[in-house]
Structure 1
Amino acid sequence: MQRGEDRNKELDDPRGDGRVPTVICDNVHIVYRVHGAGSGKGSATAALSRIVTRKASPNVREVHAVRGVSFVAYKGEAVGLIGSNGSGKSTILRSIAGLLPPESGRVYTDGQPSLLGVNAALMNDLTGERNVILGGLAMGMGKDEVREKYESIVDFSGIQEKGDFISLPMRTYSSGMAARLKFSIAAAKKHDVLMIDEALATGDRRFQRRSEERIRELRKEAGTVFLVSHNNNSIRDTCDRVLWLEKGVLLMDGPTEEVLEAYEEFTGGK
């Protein structure tokens, strides 16, 4: 039987090689509860009765999205997450970010995880300029730091290449332009753990190359990067390790090329 102290040492340095863990997922299960038709109807008295008697609504369906996933990520790593649609990739990132509590199991993080997705919240009625400022402040930058990095954020995004879009409301942007600006804001700051959900799928190849270069820089700054993408070339260019999930189960965890080759054989193409 493993003693508690030994278990703690294993979690702190599971490989015994001095590397620093930044994210530990320990047998994580995540369950969504989907409310079907009619689940919102009925009297308040009926709802209170279900709460008191601990009976679930008959129209609620449970979806077991992540099933017993365990892994350790280390400082300086870039980890790709692959798998078919609905495999649990984005769900596990949301749990690491603290947005989705596990049904069972534990998630441990060292530092503050930051989740960047194509649906990351910016305010559509505000200009790109105001969103850059507010986004920087929301990530913990000071006003002077935001001012100092403003031009580089805008230049990196490339949204000014076809006109003065930075002064227009975000609602006038294409989805690709908005996603590029979101990535540029997030990538301007050093992150303990940065999680990117499909951000590199947007924009042309030139922007993707800039994004990949920035991710490599973030790794050198001793952070950990997670990248969810259906673009295997982006995973190859960016990550040195890949987690492959299917139907909520972690099928494979290993070097990028080894895992991608197995995944491409499974899916029948690159």
Structure 2
Amino acid sequence: MAEHTNATGARIPTVVADNVHVVYRVQGAGGGKGSATAALSRIIGRKGGRSNVREVHAVKGVTFTAYKGEAIGLIGTNGSGKSTLLRTIAGLLPAERGRVFTHGQPSLLGVNAALMSDLTGERNVILGGLAMGMTREEIRGHYRQIVDFSGINDKGDFISLPMRTYSSGMGARLRFSIAAAKSHDVLMIDEALATGDAKFQKRSEARIRELRKDAGTVFLVSHSLGSIRGTCDRVLWLEKGELLMDGPTDEVLAAYSKESGK
């Protein structure tokens, strides 16, 4: 791991999560047929009393500190709170209790990150770069690198076609390529490496290592333990919203594999 320290030799924190709890409140939790009708009845006042609200405690008392130059993997079964935790760090979800402190502006990249499907890949590269705070000059300087890195033109001039014509893998590769063109204080990647062939995954993993060296902190959510092992020096293991283990990659993955049978 690249060492990033201040003048006193201390490591520089980029994210501090202090006893973070995140709670979702779901209206009309009874579900099933008729739940929409019941909700409408409450809205227009046909039924009195308190509404049926179910609370989902998605993240439960998570505490950790991330440092400059680290790449941190997040693992756990589906519904364990990994994506919710990233969205809270990014400021997209409020913490019910506890606090999150960040250095700079965290950037969250997910497979479903919004690009405009009716616009061409070229236009989306420009819009995506502007959204990350790049100037038009910087975007022009990185444009060819972004397109080549994504590989979406390997089998035709897809960059000039609307995004709606892309496969899900092509869209995910372009999103990652746009985000990876810029250094970030904190870059969070949610399953973005799961789509794409082995060649692209290797390029992505190499780029993550470069981003770490450049200065930032990278968080990676992935069900691929190989991707975690190849890019991260530290792993947070969450289950049912709780942080079960936080430590070196090999140690945490060994414990996780033993528990899950992977």
Same fold (TM over 0.5): yes
SS of equivalent residue, structure 1 residue 266: helix
| Structure 2 residue 193 is the aligned partner of structure 1 residue 200 | yes
Q: Quote the residue 1:42 is aligned against.
A: 41
State the distance in 2 between where 1:66 and 1:237 align. Answer: 27
Q: Quote the residue 2:252 is aligned against.
A: 259
For residues 49-128 of structure 1, the aligned pairs below 5 Å read 57-58=51-52, 60-128=53-121
State the distance in 2 between where 1:20 and 1:56 align. Answer: 48
SS of equivalent residue, structure 2 residue 156: coil
Q: Would you say the 8 A contact 2:72–2:236 is kept in 1?
A: yes
Identity %: 73
Instruction: Specify every segment of 5 or more residues in structure 1 that has no aligned partner in the other structure, as ranges.
Output: 1-12
194, 205, 225: which one aligns with 1:232:
225
| Structure 2 residue 258 is the aligned partner of structure 1 residue 268 | no
State the distance in 2 between where 1:86 and 1:155 align. Answer: 35
More off after superposition, 249-258 vs 28-37 = 28-37
Q: Quote the residue 2:10 is aligned against.
A: 18
Q: Quote the residue 2:157 is aligned against.
A: 164
- Give the TM-score taking structure 2 as reference length: 0.91
Q: Would you say the 8 A contact 2:42–2:51 is kept in 1?
A: no
SS of equivalent residue, structure 1 residue 34: strand
RMSD: 1.8
Distance 1:188 1:56, change over 3 A: farther
Q: Would you say the 8 A contact 2:191–2:220 is kept in 1?
A: yes
| Structure 2 residue 183 is the aligned partner of structure 1 residue 184 | no
For this pair of structures, how many residues does the alignment match?
A: 249
Q: Quote the residue 2:24 is aligned against.
A: 32
- Give the TM-score taking structure 1 as reference length: 0.89
State the distance in 1 between where 2:128 and 2:50 align. Answer: 40
Q: Quote the residue 1:137 is aligned against.
A: 130
**Residue type at the aligned position of 1:251:** L
